[in-house]
Amino acid sequence: MSTPVVQGWCPGSHRPMMSGDGLVVRVRPRLARLNAAQALGLCQLAERFGNGTIDLTNRANLQLRGVKEKDHRALLSELAVLDLLDAEPGIEVRRNILVSPLYQSGDRTARLTRELIDRLGELPNLPAKFGFAIDTGPERLLAADSADIRIEAGTEGLILRADGAKTGRRVSEADAIDQLIALAGWFAERFTPDTRRMARMIAKQDLPASWQGSTPGDIGSPLQPEAYDLGPLYGAAFGQLRAQQLSDLIADSGASALRVTPWRLILLEGGAAIPTPDFVTDAADPLLTTDACPGAPFCPQAQVETRNIARALAARVASSLHVSGCAKGCARMGPANVTLIGNDGRFDLVKNGRAGDEPSQCGLTLETLMTMDLT
C-alpha cells in the first residue's frame, strides 16, 4: 500500500485543495448558519461551478467539489456577493469555530461567537487545523467534536477548557474571549511539529493550574433527525447533499435559514417537517452511523470506490461502519466497529479501530465482505 499524503491543512475558499475531480472549495458559514437566500445561492453555485453536490464536514462547514481551476476566481466573486467569503484570507484560515447548533438568536452562544469572529485578528499564529468550540447551551453538545479551546457550560457557570483537560477555568461572558486569546497565546509559544493540537500538547506538557479546576457541565443527548423547536433536522448520507434536492427541500419547507452541524445533520430553521426520500429522516437508519469518504476516482489517494460499497454493507453492521479509500481515514478520525481500508483495489479490515490501525484481514473483495459476519 502506498503511504497517503497528509496535507496538514484544510481547504478554504481562498485556498482550495485539488482533488481527483477538481478543486474542493470550503465555505465556513458564520455561526454555522446561512439564511435562505444564501443557502439557495450556494446550491446554484454548486450546480454552476461544481459537480452539483455540497459536502458537510465534521467541522460544520460546507464544501463544493469538482470546481475547475479556471472558474475559481469567478466562484469567489459569487461567494462574496452572498456574503459567504472573508475578504481577508488570513481571517478565513483562523475562523475554525464550532457552534452548538440549537442556539437562539442573540443568546450567549451567539454573542460569544460573534465576539470571537470580530477578534480573530488578535489571535497569535496557530497551526492550520487549530479550532474553537462555543458550547454554552443548557447541555454540552460538542464535547466529542474536534476543537482545541472550548467555551462551555460548567457545573457552576461558564468555563474555558483546553481540549484534553478534564477541567477548565471559570470565566464570565465579559472576559471569556480575552481568556481564550490568552490560552491560545500560551499554546502558540510552545507547540512543536509534533504537538500541533492542544490535547497532544498537554499530554506532553503540564497545563498551568490557572487554566484548570472548574468542572464541565453535563453532556446532552446526541441530536437526531426529528422536529425541534427551531425546525426539523434531516440527515445526509455520508454528509453529501445534492444541491437540487437541498434547494427543493428549503423551498418546499418554507425555511428561513439553514443551520449545519458536525454530525451530517442539517436544521431547517423555521421550516416545516416534510417527508422526503432524499434525506435521512429515521434515527435508526444505519447510514447515520456509516462513514465513507468520496473514494476513487474523486480523491487521487483513494484506492477503491467507497460509497456504493458502504451503502451495500451498512445494514449488515450492527453499529458503526467506516469505509475509507486509503489509510488516512479522512471521513472518520475516531474508531468504528468495522473499518474497511482501500488497498490496491481491495479492502483491509480493522475491527474496533481506526483506518491507520493494524488490520486483522487483508485483500478482501466486496463479494467476500458480503458473505462475512461483520457484527
CATH number at residue 316: 3.30.413.10
For residues 167 and 261, membership in a common domain is answered with no
Residue 168 domain flag: yes
Q: Rounded distance, CA 67 to CA 49, Å?
A: 5
Q: Rounded distance, CA 65 to CA 26, Å?
A: 9
For residues 324 and 361, membership in a common domain is answered with yes
For residues 168 and 242, membership in a common domain is answered with no
Q: Which of 204, 202, 268, 262 is nearest to 233 (CA)?
A: 268
Q: Which domain holds residue 294?
A: 286-371
The residues of the chain scoring below 70 in pLDDT are 1-10
For residues 160 and 119, membership in a common domain is answered with yes
pLDDT in the model for residue 330: 84
pLDDT in the model for residue 332: 87
Q: Rounded distance, CA 43 to CA 247, Å?
A: 6
pLDDT in the model for residue 297: 84
C-alpha cell at 109: 452562544
C-alpha cell at 334: 475516531
Q: Rounded distance, CA 198 to CA 239, Å?
A: 27
pLDDT in the model for residue 1: 47
CA angle 194, 197, 198 (to 5 degrees): 120
For residues 305 and 346, membership in a common domain is answered with yes
Question: pLDDT tens-digit profile of 270-303?
Answer: 999 999 999 999 999 999 889 998 888 888 888 8
pLDDT in the model for residue 10: 65
- In the three-class reduction of DSSP (H, G, I as helix; E, B as strand; rest coil), residue 97 is classed as strand
Phi-psi region of 66 (alpha: psi -120 to 50; beta: other; left: phi over 0): left
Q: Rounded distance, CA 15 to CA 109, Å?
A: 29
For residues 87 and 227, membership in a common domain is answered with yes
Q: Rounded distance, CA 339 to CA 275, Å?
A: 32
Q: Is the previous residue joined to 138 through a cis bond, with omega within 30 degrees of 0? A: no
Q: Rounded distance, CA 91 to CA 37, Å?
A: 24
For residues 107 and 83, membership in a common domain is answered with no
Q: Rounded distance, CA 160 to CA 246, Å?
A: 36
The residue length of the chain stands at 375
One-character DSSP codes across 316-366: TSSS-EEEESSTT-TT-SS-EEEEEEEETTEEEEEEEE-TTSPPSEEEE-H
DSSP 280: B
Phi-psi region of 340 (alpha: psi -120 to 50; beta: other; left: phi over 0): beta
Residue 5 domain flag: no
Q: Are 58 and 145 in contact (CB under 8 A)?
A: yes
Q: Please report which residue ranges of the chain form alpha helices under DSSP H.
A: 36-49, 72-81, 89-94, 108-118, 176-188, 198-204, 243-253, 307-314, 366-371
Q: Which residues pair with 355 in a beta bridge?
A: none
Residue 207 domain flag: yes
CATH number at residue 258: 3.90.480.10
Residue that is written with C-alpha cell 473514494 in the block? 295
pLDDT in the model for residue 21: 79
Handedness of CA 47, 49, 50, 53 (dihedral sign): negative
Handedness of CA 270, 274, 278, 279 (dihedral sign): positive
Residue 74 domain flag: yes
For residues 114 and 193, membership in a common domain is answered with yes
Residue 274 domain flag: no
For residues 172 and 24, membership in a common domain is answered with no
pLDDT in the model for residue 253: 97
Residue 12 domain flag: no
Residue 4 domain flag: no
Residue 55 domain flag: yes
Domains held by the chain: number: 3
Buried b (16+ CB within 10 A) or exposed e, 256-282: ebbbbbbbbbbbbbebebeeeeebbbe
pLDDT in the model for residue 166: 97
Q: Are 311 and 321 in contact (CB under 8 A)?
A: no
